[in-house]
Amino acid sequence: MDALFLEALVARYEQPAFIAQDPIAVVHAFDDPGDQEVIGLYAALLAWGRRTLILRKLEVLCACMDYQPYHFVRRFDPERDGHRLAAFCHRTFQPVDALWLTLNLQALLRRYGSVAAFVAQHLPSEAPDIAPALEALSQALCALPGTPARLRKHLPRPSSGSACKRLALYFRWMVRPGPVDLGLWETVSPRQLVLPLDVHVGRQARAWGLLTRPQNDWRAVQELTENCRKLCAEDPARYDFALFGAALYGAGVS
């Protein structure tokens, strides 16, 4: 694959104009890093389907949280506040998922203070990629007694073979610097990020010879990311903009 071609696409799509129509727009709407980190997790986990619908649903969720996502989660009491999430849903993400995700995230925040601090303790600096942190975060967000098994469908793990697309996207948002991503987590190196892989990115990657594995699973994520590292070892996830942009808008470069 021609690196110059990919770089041209990155330059086209990694622009502030990209933000408005993407779920990351909701994250950028907040100034406080705690709010950005918390709403970013919800936004990434809900980032499937039509983007206009995702943005509408995230606006509803922000209103449910009184536009203070960090404090809402930290202070959440299911008896007092449970009604706020009782009608929230997005596709297969149901009110019971919103309730238990919030309770598990609350437990994590009360122990570690932030998701960033949790990740820092669960990702060795020598780890080749973020797999250990993805694994730990998925487990922690389903750890409370009583958490329904259905929540695990929204929080897959590399060890199960899942591509973990939405959590990989969340890490990209939190780790990479702007103008689109936020660069909040300085303890994670961009070189450890993996490509968020879904059916559209997978199809484009295969068309460009960046991916040969037919399944969109964790092994495919590793293969795609390794091929992108050959082009930019310090920041392989930058090519998510080229792949996603080309899949969504077309690959022509003028």
pLDDT tens-digit profile of 68-120? 999 999 999 999 999 999 999 999 999 999 999 999 999 999 999 999 999 99
Does any domain span residue 104? yes
DSSP secondary structure, 169-202, as one string: HHHHHHHS-TTTS----TTS-GGG------HHHH
Does any domain span residue 119? yes
The arithmetic mean of pLDDT across residues 156-185, rounded, is 97
Asked, as a colleague might, if the bond just before 78 is cis with ω within 30 of 0, I would say no
Q: How many domains does the chain have?
A: 1
Phi, psi of 248 (to 5 degrees): -85, -40
CA distance linking residue 37 with residue 151, whole number of Å = 20
Question: Domain range for residue 142?
Answer: 17-191
Q: What is the pLDDT of residue 6?
A: 95
**pLDDT at 142 exceeding the cut of 90:** yes
| Dihedral (Cα; 30, 51, 141, 122), 10-degree rounding | -70
Does any domain span residue 214? no
DSSP secondary structure, 57-110, as one string: HHHHHHHHTTT-HHHHHHH--HHHHHHHHTT--BTTB-HHHHHHHHHHHHHHHH
The arithmetic mean of pLDDT across residues 173-195, rounded, is 97
Q: Under 8 Å CB-to-CB from 20, ≥6 apart: which residues?
A: none
Does any domain span residue 203? no
CA distance linking residue 186 with residue 80, whole number of Å = 36
Tens of pLDDT, residue by residue over 40-67, are: 999 999 998 889 999 999 999 999 999 9
Does any domain span residue 207? no
> Looking at beta carbons, which pairs linking 40-45 to residues 24 or more positions away fall under 8 Å?
40/170, 40/173, 40/174, 40/182, 41/105, 41/115, 41/170, 42/69, 42/101, 44/166, 44/167, 44/169, 44/170, 44/173, 45/93, 45/101, 45/154, 45/155, 45/166, 45/167, 45/170
Does any domain span residue 179? yes
CA distance linking residue 216 with residue 195, whole number of Å = 11
Q: How many CB atoms lie within 10 A of CB 61?
A: 21
Does any domain span residue 10? no
**pLDDT at 254 exceeding the cut of 50:** no
Does any domain span residue 1? no
